[in-house]
Every structure is written in structure tokens, then in C-alpha cells.
Amino acid sequence: MSDQCTPSEHTFSRRQILGSLAGAAGISGLGGLLQPVVANEIAKNDKQVLFVWLDGAISQLESWDPKPNTRFGGPFRSIPTAIPGYHVSELMPRLAKLTNCLTIVRNMHTQDNSHSGGVPRILRGDPANRGVEYPYFGSAVAKLMGSGESGLPPYVWIKPGSGGFMPKNAGFLGPKFGALAFGDGKPPENFTRPDFLTKERDELRQQLRQRLSDRYATRRRKTANEAQSFVYDMAQKLMARTDLFDTTKLPQRDLDRYGRTELGQHMLVARNMLEAGVRFVQVTSYGWDTHGDHFNGSASLIPKFDMALASILEDLRERGMLDNVLVVAMSEFGRTPRINGHHGRDHYPEAWSLAMAGAGVVPGAVIGETDKEGVNVNSPQGYDIGNVFHTWYHALGIDSRREEFYNADQPLPIAHHEMHPIKEALA
């Protein structure tokens, strides 16, 4: 494996290889779904997103911005990385070797210090029109970029616990652009066609459903029916791709590299989804709200994150996909430098970090810094989430100044109109 994180236009991705094989074999046995995904030039322009959400908030001090041997530094050492002079926590040894593929922003400065306020604000980009329920980033990408040639759901969410269709994420865009969540990384119950139902009879049932849906829609608003129809259509396509959820047949080496943990296995499902052409894949990890026993919690959680994220970055790079997949790893805020009476760190939006890689961003960039104890950003002004949304859109080839959403007939900017991209992060 190369240590370099360079454009890979001469590397064949697994998707392209499968495309060649599928074309030669007439895509036999693949349900016809791989054919559009593996168009020979798809990887050059058809960008995707892997969004890793560490719910509750990873500590920047135990990850991207350590402050060892200081008053608030904690017990962990820092280690050198592939970027000369830049250190990360010793809890991330594999990511330390991949920092030349990463873009680290260490001067995030946001506003909300509660989960209830911070999560939706961060995931919606905090547009200036606060009275309007903006879409989450995944829904926005689904609307602006569509499902692509794969025909698969444009916005999937792999998470612990329950799954289902999450229309609320779409805000005013309408429920069609909500997230399709796979609880515990598994397909929904009763996902496969029962043995007693033939393919022909199933097709007749679907035709009847479509006729009833069309009849229902004639007397009602479009949005009242389109989400339900969309979910059924997407379900039909996914039914032919149950392989995307099955990690048991993967090489043992992959299972070990990603970690035989919840996050590791979910990241493997995410890799399958990206290779199949899904536009936006979110992977959520819970349990990061370490108000108590923070250091033992970090010693457990962060190495799992290190293994899973490092492995998918390595695989995306080897498959020639990293140049076209925007990877984001972040939380709703950071954690306090000051250690509380329960040996924990509390919520801290004033100075925290996030990491990016892949499509449209500069590899090996470390942007911004905090003071010696990590209390404040050293830059004249830290970056708010509106800046980050502009950055993501530009990385995906979307002009965030000219593109607009429509809430009914009201045009609205897709990102905070008074903010700008983080220019140092953009390739």
C-alpha cells in the first residue's frame, strides 16, 4: 500500500472492475442494478459523501488537538503523524499515519452547547433563515445531486438501534428526501420476498400498488404521495442487493482491520454502499457524551473509531474512490478543556476540531489552531458550521452562492449567505 495520498486516475476501483465483469457477463445474477453504477467514467465526476457522525461529541483533546503536559491535557500522550510537526493523540495510531490524506480543521467555533440545539443546527448548517426548517446535509445532497446512476436511495443512514424512513431530516424539501436508516446495519424486517410469492405475482402486486397510489395522488398534494412511492421504489431496488448488508462473507482480514465492533461492521456496510453507488452514506456512532469517566471512555471509543475510519480511508484510496468521495468525521461540538468533578469533559462549542478527506479538499492540511491549553482558537476568528457547509458544497462541485432551495415558492440560499468556504481546505 502506498503511503502517498495522491490522485488515483490510473487506479481501477472495485466498482469499475465489477462493471467490466458485469458487462462481459451480461450482468447475469446482479438484478440489473450494477449496470448503471459501473459506467466506465462514473468515478471521475459523480461524487459521493461518507459522513461519520460521533454522536455526543468526541473530545478534540483526545483526538485531533491534544495538549499533553498541560493543566487540561489529560493522561494520554501525543504522537507524530505523516505531517511534519503535527501530532495527534496516541489513541489514533493508524489515523496518524494517514494524516497526509486528511484535512483537519482545529478552529471550529460554534454556538450551541446542548445536544438538542447543537445537533440540528450543525446538521442543517445554521442558515440565516432560522425560522425555516432547513434540510440536514444528507437530504440537501440528495436533493441537489440526486441518486446518480445507481438508482439506489440517495441518502442512507447506518446506525445502532432501530431503522426506518426518517422524513424529518428533509425539512421543507419534503419527506421524499429523508434518510433511509438501517438499524444495526441490517435491512428492514421482511425485506426479502417470501418463498411463496413468485417474481411474476410480486410484479403484479407492485403494478396494483402503483395504480392505487396514482389514484390517491390525483386529489391530493404531490408531497402527500411521493414519499411513500419513493420508499417502495427504493425498497424494490434494494431487495435485489441484500449482499450490501452481509459482512459475514468478507475476508477475515477486513473484519479484523475494521474492528469486530459495532462501528467497524457498520463502516464495512458503508463501504459496500459507496461501492454500489449510494450518493450519501452516514454512519453514526453513539456513546460519546463522556461527562463522567471520560478518559476510560475515550480509551475504549477512540481506538474503535481509529480502526474503522483508517480502514475505509485505506480501502477508498486503494480502490481509486477517495478522489471522488468526500469523507467527513465530526460531532455536534467538542468537549471542555477543563475536567469536571466526575473525571469528565462537558460540552464545548468554543474551540473544537473536525476531519475531512477525499473529494475536493486539500490532503495533508491542518487548518487553524488553539492556544496552549485548548481553551480558545488562536485565529482571529474561528469557523462556524455555515463556513463548513459552503466548504462541503464547493468540494462536491456545487456553487453554494448561486444554487438555491425553494420552500414552496420562496427561494432560499443553500448555506448561510453571510459566510464563506474555508479556502485553505479546498483543493
- CA separation for the pair 288, 333 (Å, rounded): 11
What does pTM read for this prediction? 0.86
Q: Could you tell me what percent of the chain has a pLDDT over 70?
A: 83
Which of 9-23, 248-262, 293-307 comes out lowest in average pLDDT? 9-23
What is the H or E stretch that residue 325 is in? strand 325-330
Average of per-residue pLDDT values in the chain = 87
Please provide the DSSP assignment of 386-398 as one string: HHHHHHHHHHTT-
With a CB cutoff of 8 Å and minimum separation 6, the contacts of 382 are 107, 108, 109, 350, 351, 368
CATH of domain 46-191+241-425: 3.40.720.10
State residue 379's pLDDT score.
Answer: 72
State residue 200's pLDDT score.
Answer: 80
* Domain extents in the chain: 46-191+241-425
Confidence tier at 16 by pLDDT (50, 70, 90): very low
The predicted-structure confidence for 303-328, as pLDDT tens digits, reads as follows 999 999 999 999 999 999 999 999 99
The predicted-structure confidence for 327-362, as pLDDT tens digits, reads as follows 999 999 999 999 999 999 999 999 999 999 999 999
With a CB cutoff of 8 Å and minimum separation 6, the contacts of 318 are 1, 11
178 has a pLDDT exceeding 70:
yes
Helix 223-239 to helix 199-217 angle, to the nearest 10 degrees? 170
Compare 213 and 42 and report the one with higher pLDDT. Answer: 213
Q: What is the mean pLDDT of residues 224-247?
A: 73
Q: What is the mean pLDDT of residues 7-12?
A: 40
**Three cell numbers written together for 407:** 420552500
164-166 and 87-89: which strand pairing? unpaired
